[in-house]
Amino acid sequence: MRRTPEPYLWLLFSAGGVVAALLLPVLVLLFGVLMPLGVLDWPAQAELAALLDPLAVRLALVAVVLLCLFHAAHRIRFTSEEVLGIARLDPIIAVLCYGAAIAGVVVAVLLLF
């Protein structure tokens, strides 16, 4: 019997969906609506630097980015295969989607650390 990484990818997909549903609307509301409209003041650079100073905060942000990117990669992979009918290209699509997610996580780690 051949082992497949599919259960782990579905685990990342579901965890990413939960994180995206709970955290991203708050971030979009704050940084995409309230601050540009002037309802809330933009944080100063020193405040943001102080917020990102603890290691736990940076690790939590990396986890959020990782889960959201893997959720998006999984959704794009299976949606493109179903909608476009290109399931025969699954290995290529999987490498592109998950490779892009890994590249995004690497960029996030480089920016935060």
Structural domains in the chain, sorted by start = 7-112 (1.20.1300.10)
Hey, what amino acid is at 97? C
In a 13 Å sphere around the CA of 54, the CA atoms on its Cβ side amount to: 5
Q: What is the rounded CA–CA span in Å between residue 22 and residue 87?
A: 31
pTM of the model: 0.84
What pLDDT score was predicted for residue 5?
Answer: 86
Per-residue pLDDT at 1: 80
pLDDT tens digits, one per residue of 13-38: 999 999 999 998 998 999 999 999 99
Give tens-digit pLDDT for 43-75.
999 999 999 999 999 999 999 999 999 999 999
